[in-house]
Structure 1
Amino acid sequence: MVLEQDADTVRQALSNAWNLQVGWEVCADVQTALNYEWLVTNGIGGYASGSVVGATTRSYHGLLVAALRPPVERTVLVTKIDEEVTMPGGRILKLGVNEYHGGVIDPQGNNFLEQVWLEGDIPYFRYRLDDNLTLEKRIWMEYGQNTTFVQYVLRGTLTSEDGQGVLLTLLPFCLSRDYHSVTQGSNDWHFRVNAQGNRCRVQAYDGAPVYSLIAHPSASFSPTGFWYWHVLHRRESERGLNDQEDVYQPGMFRVVITPGMHMTLVLSSEQTLLADLGGAHHEDAVTLALMRRQRRTKQLLTVADHSADTLPGRDPVLARLVLAADQFIVARPDYSQQRALRLAPRLSPDRKTIIAGYPWFTDWGRDTMISLPGLLLSTGRYSEARGLLKAFTSFMQNGLIPNHFPDQGDMPEYNTADATLWMFRAIDLYLKTTGDWSLLKELFPTLVDSIQWHVRGTLYNIGVDPVDGLLHAGAPGVQLTWMDAKVDDWVVTPRRGKPVEVNALWYAALTAMEAWAVRLSIDATPYSELRTRIRQHFAARFWYDEGSYLYDVIDVNGVAGQNDASLRPNQLFAASLAPDLLTDQQAASMLHMVTEHLLTPSGLRSLSPTDSAYHKHFNGDRLQRDSAYHQGTVWQWLIGPYIDVHWRVYHNRDALLPLLQPIVQQLWNSCIGSISEVAEPEAPYTPAGCFAQAWSVGELLRCWMI
């Protein structure tokens, strides 16, 4: 069905990807509108996010979620702002939306919300106040700072009877907590609020971060000190998590605004604030901040295509994905050096990493390396790719790069059999794209050491079988492949033995090492011999003749000849990463089986529906989600290897666009302007998991370039 769509029809449907918008028909239905989200990031791990109507449907939502130790220690400081407009004549319009325990929604300001859209990467909201007046709001962050700008402008005309303006009241809701937790308030707990005219400084308790709320100089701040009890986060209800929270209102800002006037509330946890904020030139400083954001957007498009002015019109999908990609690329400063020299964290190309997904992931080695080709190479950000690869190799231990950097900045974790091999692929694609052979020369000794560790054996029983040259891996209670769900001590899909995609990656790494050694005039024999041995055995060992596809894992649990015939998407990598491992007939047969059982409009299922272990649903409590995570749940990023193999088998470029179109269409849904982590395995394939995922955007972007 997907393959039969007309490519011209698909292109027409995608022509508005740059001008993403959510209209009144969605906003007017609050239950529908609460499913739409927006995201703004700051390049150091902090972000702002919420539902399009303003309600915090997740505990992770906030207008200021600061990364206090970039890119980690994310802390929710300001969750949202409710707006009230007092019209001429005294009528009060409440524009906010909040959901409380029991599903009570109050106020219902979505009735005034006319449209939400993205201008570049900045979300805009338009509220219809009456026949003559609208209020527009836009939100952005300062790149490299934990600072959010919330700007309002009144549009339209006022009659002589109406007077000079309308009264805008802003009601901020504040917290001070880790973004994974929730707050329970108390009548005895009052935040410390230092009010100074049009600004205030807030501190929740001793030792908590101090943050500032700064308004237009004509605004006035009045302390209140109210708790709002039992705010409901409906997305957390669906995920079986703590779904209620109390939020603190430190006070309110009031200002009379006139048509054309800008009024900006600045939220910041920075110790050194931008000059002129809060003073007579407050809005001038804000304008400069907005220009910096817009200029950076233009630079990103220029780097990606060298035609920033025309790219949104020529290829709106590419332009949109370039900006979506930027949200995941963040700094990981060298804190040891900065502490020694007493320097502030620096944003430089040589200390970049990739956030795996918003709102709750940090940077993961595997996700970073899978995402790098799409997020950095397809967008022309080669210096950042170079720095990222150098940074990750600097963390290598026992031949492995880190799998995970913990939220609190503790020591990295190395429980991965594939992240390092994905790094070899990322380096190979980087070198083919840039011709930067100086980086190869610099990294080659480390890469040699990594291969040697794999050959002689390293952590978690990762090592080479000397008979067939294939890589085995597995240790009790440890998840080592990308199918890494774990509930307490239960590894849902342990895949101990010789996983198919790990060995495709292993073969590709050896192929690259052989070519690199030749280029550097180094003996390539060890890599050539091992690669040849794998090629001799791979298809013979992995091909499941009865099913006409590849086993997912062979020699399961170290038992020779015990094979896992689960029909999974991992086999695609054997044809996408290493085309010479399978015959064209085998690749076509495997693709047919994957298409029949795993392909959906939203990506690929992680397990065939005919398998007894298949889960028809993903969402639910932690046990439900993690047990279904790789047992049928659809993953958008897997469209990447599917497109690679489809191109190899059919070599029909026109057939690729209809495959990508349904996933691109998600830019309009869920989190507008981005692509989610997973989707439900059955129609209507509702997006789930993280609302913005790095490898989903990265692989879609890489395929779009094809």
Structure 2
Amino acid sequence: MSIDFGRETCSDLNALQTREWLVTNGIGGYASGTLANSLTRGYHGILVAALKPPLERTLLVSKIDDTAYYNGSIYPLFTNNWINETVDPQGYRYLDSFSLEGTIPLWRYRIEDALLEKRIWMQPGSNTTYIYYRVYEAAQPLSLSLKVLVNYRDYHSRTRAGNWRMHLEPIARGVRVNAFPDAVPYYILADRATVSPVNEWYYGFELDRERDRGLDHFDDNLYAVKIATYDTALEPGQSLTVVATTESNPDLDGIAQLEVRRAYEQRLLETWQTSQPTAAKHAPEWVKQLVLDADRFIVNRPLPDNPDGKTIIAGYHWFTDWGRDTMISLPGLTLSTGRSRIARSIIRTFAQYISQGMLPNHFPDDNKPLDDGDYNTVDATLWYFEAIRSYYEATRDATLVQEIFPKLAEIIDWHRRGTRYNIYLDAHDGLLYAGTPGVQLTWMDAKVEDWVVTPRIGKPVEINALWYNALRTLSKFAQQLGQPYQEYDNMAQATLMGFQRFWNEDLGYCFDVLDTPEGNDASLRPNQIFAVSLPESPLTPIQQRKIVETCDRLLLTPYGLRSLSLDNPQYRGYYEGDRVQRDGAYHQGTVWGWLLGAYVMAHLRVFNDPLAARRILEPMANHILEAGVGSISEIFDGNAPFAPKGCIAQAWSVAEVLRAWLATESVIN
């Protein structure tokens, strides 16, 4: 299966604007837009730079409006949406096809008898985007005129230009842009064209997707630079390279840089093929696409004592790196793709941030020092154990285990004694309690102002499944290192016995939370699936089977598990509306793609039928053709047709589908 859209899609504006492309640079920056090259989100841009990697994402170059001149006629190839609900021009009408070459988007425009190609990619490790035009075929020369629209704003915000006037300085091969005196300068360059400054604001771009989300949906962008090939029209086979960058002296050789990018992606595939030779031999094309997609989430997080530190971006466009998402995603994005060195770096990077036995939930966008508010998670730390266990299972790296072991022991000790947010081990039943009013601590973390939608204060089922696994993991590590381990075994045994409190015999599945302020919560949610899918299950085989069958009947959809059962009065089947409406549905029925991984692993454990388990994943092969092309969305509506929502590319969705597919493959072969 190749990702290739022909005229039937390219002639449909709605189909083009509901599909989005994404390229990244490995330091937190990205470029993204719709297949129509129109702006529908405030997060779209040709260059969204991470000015303090991986944070301070700043929109620098919004879009390029490209026009072709051929055979005496003018052909606008771009599309713009305006606040008066007009679409002008409608350049998508000339789009003959769209495809992905690896992760590189490729547009082909049919202009009479000429065919013009355009590709966009980013240079790894640099806030540099390449826009590469090539005349594939033509009976006569073709000229291009490009309007480069720029900005300088936080990627969450919008611009109201007013009287803002940027300083545009002509330089060799391009223009240097200074948005204001203290701004980071950036550059618009071309290899073979006339480049000149303009400085004309375009007001009132309509951002349809932001309107749908109940957010500010107007933006202004500056027409800053004109690039034209009137004097050097392109013959068949000739190309034009445009570079948008924060680097003062980038390589303008687009052909060479395209080969560099292709070689980079080929190495990713070869690394995976070397580490997973049997799986790679049998993998369908959509799985290979996800292997490449996995790289888009892995970014640098340099530390003073570790300049090569790594982390994982939780999702594009608006998430940065989150502790929980990073640890859940680590096995699928790194170990499943043969990149254990990166896994090791991530584990060591996050070890630097452990405080009072806890990993941070997220890092502030403004790079401020972490405070207690950044540690509002009870599960990130427990997923850290599972990430390290997975790493050790894949590498047998005893050196790292020995280095990290004191940190892990410290984490257990803090939880036993009690740490932030009333997280402590209840000695009466061996279960972890967590929660204080007004704070969201589990992955079901939606909060609007003072309203915590799913507070889950008490003893959540997945937290205690993770706690049990963490204790068993630490016991095994202790034995391998010749350290005392019996205490961890005793604690695990107490948790194992106490875990039976979760079982609701009348309903045939687990309580979601025990000992809440209102009593035990019997809501059917997907969290109990982890008590089956994790390596150490605290449930009996009969209980495991009943949970999988219940989830299959009431929670499973083609793209993941619903976050709440259909028959619950609080169920919300559509994720839509303003922030209050959306967050009110976020974990109240909305489908989460990442849960499909745990469900497949649980299904494998209970039924030992890898072919049946693999069929559960097959709808994702079609999903990567919609929303974020080549990736997997964050969430989906709970009701059919399960429309994709949220982030167009989510790290743990990709990671867990990859991990689960490889698990089925390992059983089959």
The TM tier, using the shorter chain, reads over 0.9
1:481 match: 442
1:99 match: 81
Contact 1:329 1:355 survives alignment (8 Å): yes
User: Could you list the per-position Cα deviations for residues 102-153 of structure 1 after superposition, in whole angstroms to 9, with x for gaps in the alignment?
Assistant: 32101101100011111111110000001x2111000011100000000000
1:183 match: 159
What amino acid maps onto 1:190 in structure 2? R
2:430 match: 469
Query: Given the alignment, which residue of 601, 609, 613 partners 1:644?
Result: 601
Report the Cα distance in structure 2 between the residues aligned to 1:329 and 1:296, rounded to whole angstroms.
14
Contact 2:175 2:197 survives alignment (8 Å): no
Task: Normalising by structure 2, report the TM-score.
Answer: 0.96
| 1:337 positional shift | 5.8
| 1:604 positional shift | 0.7
- 5+ unaligned residues in a row in structure 2: which ranges? 664-669
Pairs aligned (count): 656
- 5+ unaligned residues in a row in structure 1: which ranges? 1-15, 339-345
Q: Could you tell me the percent identity over the aligned residues?
A: 46
| 1:237 positional shift | 0.4
Matched, 1:138 2:95: no
2:3 match: 20
TM alignment of 1:581-592, pairs within 5 A? 581-592=538-549
| 1:223 positional shift | 2.9
Report the Cα distance in structure 2 between the residues aligned to 1:624 and 1:532, rounded to whole angstroms.
43
Q: 1:611 to 1:352 in 2, by over 3 A?
A: same
2:320 match: 362
TM alignment of 1:107-506, pairs within 5 A? 107-130=89-112, 132-158=113-139, 162=140, 165-186=141-162, 188-196=163-171, 198-217=173-192, 219-255=193-229, 256-270=233-247, 272-274=248-250, 277=251, 282=252, 285-306=253-274, 315-334=284-303, 336=304, 348=308, 351-412=309-370, 413-506=374-467
1:606 match: 563
Q: 1:534 to 1:337 in 2, by over 3 A?
A: closer
SS of the equivalent of 2:108 reads strand
Query: Given the alignment, which residue of 29, 32, 35 partners 1:49?
Result: 32
Moved more, 230-239 or 300-309: 300-309
Contact 2:312 2:651 survives alignment (8 Å): yes
Contact 2:275 2:338 survives alignment (8 Å): no
1:4 match: none
What amino acid maps onto 1:133 in structure 2? A
What amino acid maps onto 2:341 in structure 1? S
Contact 2:468 2:536 survives alignment (8 Å): no
What amino acid maps onto 2:118 in structure 1? K
SS of the equivalent of 2:294 reads helix
2:666 match: none
What amino acid maps onto 1:491 in structure 2? V
| 1:703 positional shift | 0.8
What is the root-mean-square deviation of aligned Cα atoms in Å? Answer: 1.6
What amino acid maps onto 2:314 in structure 1? A
Contact 2:386 2:469 survives alignment (8 Å): yes
Report the Cα distance in structure 2 between the residues aligned to 1:232 and 1:496, rounded to whole angstroms.
41
What amino acid maps onto 1:330 in structure 2? V
Report the Cα distance in structure 2 between the residues aligned to 1:469 and 1:424, rounded to whole angstroms.
18
SS of the equivalent of 1:657 reads helix
| 1:481 positional shift | 0.3
1:552 match: 512
| 1:383 positional shift | 0.8
Contact 1:197 1:221 survives alignment (8 Å): no
Q: 1:313 to 1:456 in 2, by over 3 A?
A: closer
Matched, 1:697 2:654: yes
Query: Given the alignment, which residue of 558, 574, 578 partners 2:531?
Result: 574
Moved more, 577-586 or 490-499: 577-586
Task: Normalising by structure 1, report the TM-score.
Answer: 0.91
Report the Cα distance in structure 1 between the residues aligned to 2:487 and 2:164, rounded to whole angstroms.
67
| 1:47 positional shift | 0.2
Contact 2:204 2:218 survives alignment (8 Å): yes
SS of the equivalent of 1:668 reads coil
What amino acid maps onto 1:61 in structure 2? H
Q: 1:653 to 1:313 in 2, by over 3 A?
A: closer
Report the Cα distance in structure 2 between the residues aligned to 1:145 and 1:429, rounded to whole angstroms.
31
SS of the equivalent of 1:110 reads helix
Q: State the 4+ residue runs in structure 1 displaced beyond 6 angstroms.
A: 307-310
What amino acid maps onto 2:509 in structure 1? Y
